């Protein structure tokens, strides 16, 4: 299974991350990285004209297919399958010969596939309903094959060799090429290439699964090894101090002057604890975000958990939600991705090796052996690895198969400021999208 996640960078370079999971391998897959390089194109006036017509054909077919889907839905209450509107292409080409003359046929096939993706994302609740395309605004067409690079030229079927400016070498196999024209009449090509992953090339490109720990603050699995991050010592010292002062405060008579004095003291220590905690979260999130392109966390409904009294203190103290916020906005700045998986996913009880799910695994059991495959597991490391694997599964299913109703959401770059992390997935618009190929 191969899939890619696209991140739009305003600088004009796309950072692309991709995972190929090799099912034969036991715990880690072969990772292939898709990199997209965005280059500026300088078409000749003749080429501009051909591009103009190709954009027009792709747009026309998109709107036609979308309209057909909408009508079909209004008449039957059912959605139209990809094969149905893809199958209309030959007839359409006969009715409108320009559709065949002006546009490379694979481009139109791509339009159909992209519309299908847009609908899949819409039905999965991940995106808005696909919209009609306008001739005003950005135009784009996608080539799934037969585009090659020769020196400073990009060879595109039906258009020929277009002059391009490459800021970096194109390495690997070209998978797709998207040519776009901005409203300011600039032309770009986004060239997607597949290469073998080498961590040296991509030091910050890991996918991390993070489990919230009670003993340790966070347990991180990068697919190869586990790292545990406990709360720093100075934070523990502050916390002890806080508990001591709170106990003293509780012993004072209400309304007394000493009580007033201790209340102020407790407030000060509270502030210290809060500051050093935030400082720790900032440092840890910075470190993790620097290492990675994708971070997978459990979407813990913290409020729900806090109601469970046994865990309440530990959970409110670790402030998981705030930490995830820090991860989210730091990832957003580097065009990375935070994936939240469903909180009912059995991350702890599942064997990361064979998939066996335990009926029960009490909290005090820190290590266990899988009854099915006999693998010895460290509770937290196993959970973090499961979270990571589930996150990759969610991402690779992003634009393809529907995500189960209880499933997870992929959170793209939509950090909206403090405490507000909306989920939005632009299914079709060119810059930000999640797709499966």
Nearer Cβ to Zn ion (373/423): 373
Q: Taking contact as CB under 5 A, which single stretch among the options 234-242, 334-342, 362-370, 409-417 is the one that binds Zn ion?
A: 362-370
Nearer Cβ to Zn ion (2/358): 358
Nearer Cβ to Zn ion (306/361): 361
356 binds Zn ion (CB under 5 A): yes
The binder of Zn ion chosen from 39, 65, 210, 351 (CB under 5 A)? 351
Full DSSP string of 13-38: -BEEEEEE--TTSSS----EEEEEEE
354 binds Zn ion (CB under 5 A): yes
Least distance to Zn ion from the beta carbon of 26, Å?
10
Place of tokens 């597991």: 377
Q: Where are the beta strands (DSSP E) in 96-241?
A: 139-143, 148-150, 153-156, 160-165, 173-181, 187-196, 206-212, 218-221, 226-229
Q: Is residue 59 helix, strand or coil?
A: helix
Least distance to Zn ion from the beta carbon of 64, Å?
51
Catalytic residue among 222, 298, 390, 426: 298
The answer to whether the beta carbons of residues 219 and 210 sit under 8 Å apart is yes
The sign of the CA dihedral 318, 320, 323, 325 is: negative
Q: Taking contact as CB under 5 A, which single stretch among the options 96-104, 140-148, 160-168, 368-376 is the one that binds Zn ion?
A: 368-376
Catalytic residue among 4, 102, 211, 222: 211
Opening angle at CA 261, ends 257 and 265, nearest 5: 165
Q: Taking contact as CB under 5 A, which single stretch among the options 26-34, 69-77, 345-353, 428-436 is the one that binds Zn ion?
A: 345-353
Nearer Cβ to Zn ion (313/374): 374
Annotation marks residue 211 as catalytic: yes
Annotation marks residue 369 as catalytic: no
The answer to whether the beta carbons of residues 395 and 435 sit under 8 Å apart is no
1 binds Zn ion (CB under 5 A): no
φ/ψ of residue 73, rounded to 5: -65, -40
92-111: contacts with Zn ion (CB under 5 A) = none
The answer to whether the beta carbons of residues 157 and 179 sit under 8 Å apart is no
The answer to whether the beta carbons of residues 317 and 230 sit under 8 Å apart is no
Q: Is residue 389 helix, strand or coil?
A: helix
Least distance to Zn ion from the beta carbon of 351, Å?
3
370 binds Zn ion (CB under 5 A): yes
Residues making contact with Zn ion (CB under 5 A): 351, 353-354, 356, 370, 372-373
Residues annotated as catalytic are 211, 298, 380
């Amino acid at each position: 299974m191969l899939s890619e996640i696209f991140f739009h960078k305003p600088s004009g370079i796309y950072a692309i991350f991709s995972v190929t999971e090799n099912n034969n391998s036991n715990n880690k897959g072969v990772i292939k990285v898709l990199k997209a390089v965005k280059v500026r194109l300088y078409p000749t006036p003749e080429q501009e004209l051909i591009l103009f017509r190709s954009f027009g054909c792709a747009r026309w077919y998109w709107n036609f297919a979308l309209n057909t889907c909408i009508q079909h839905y209004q008449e039957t209450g059912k959605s139209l399958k990809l094969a149905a509107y893809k199958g209309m292409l030959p007839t359409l080409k006969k009715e409108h010969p320009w559709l065949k003359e002006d546009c490379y046929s694979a481009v139109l096939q791509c339009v159909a596939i992209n519309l299908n993706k847009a609908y899949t994302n819409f039905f999965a609740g991940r995106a808005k309903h696909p919209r009609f395309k306008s001739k005003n605004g950005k135009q784009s067409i996608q080539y799934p094959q037969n585009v090659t690079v020769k020196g400073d030229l990009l060879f595109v079927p039906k258009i020929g060799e277009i002059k391009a400016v490459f800021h970096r070498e194109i390495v690997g196999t070209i998978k797709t090429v998207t040519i776009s024209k901005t409203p300011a009449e600039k032309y770009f090509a986004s060239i997607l290439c597949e290469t073998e992953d080498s961590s040296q090339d991509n030091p910050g490109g890991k996918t991390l699964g993070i489990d919230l720990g009670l003993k340790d603050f966070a347990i991180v699995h990068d697919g190869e090894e586990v790292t545990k991050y406990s709360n720093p010592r100075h934070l523990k010292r502050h916390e002890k101090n806080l508990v001591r002062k709170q106990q003293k405060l509780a012993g004072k008579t209400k309304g007394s002057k000493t009580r007033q004095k201790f209340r102020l003291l407790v407030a000060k220590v509270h502030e210290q604890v809060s500051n050093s905690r935030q400082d720790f979260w900032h440092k840890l999130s910075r470190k993790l975000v620097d290492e990675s392109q994708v971070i997978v966390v459990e979407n813990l409904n913290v409020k729900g958990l806090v109601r469970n009294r046994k865990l309440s203190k530990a959970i409110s103290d670790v402030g998981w939600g705030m930490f995830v916020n820090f991860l989210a906005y730091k990832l957003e700045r580097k065009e990375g991705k935070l994936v939240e998986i469903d909180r009912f996913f059995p991350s702890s009880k599942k064997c990361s090796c064979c998939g066996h799910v335990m009926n029960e695994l009490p909290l005090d059991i820190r290590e266990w052996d899988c009854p099915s495959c006999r693998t010895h597991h460290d509770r937290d490391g196993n959970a973090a690895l499961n979270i990571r694997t589930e996150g990759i599964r969610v991402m690779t299913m992003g634009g393809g198969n529907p995500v189960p109703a209880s499933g997870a959401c992929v959170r793209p770059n939509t950090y909206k400021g403090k405490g507000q992390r909306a989920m939005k997935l632009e299914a079709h618009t060119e810059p930000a999208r999640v797709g499966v190929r």
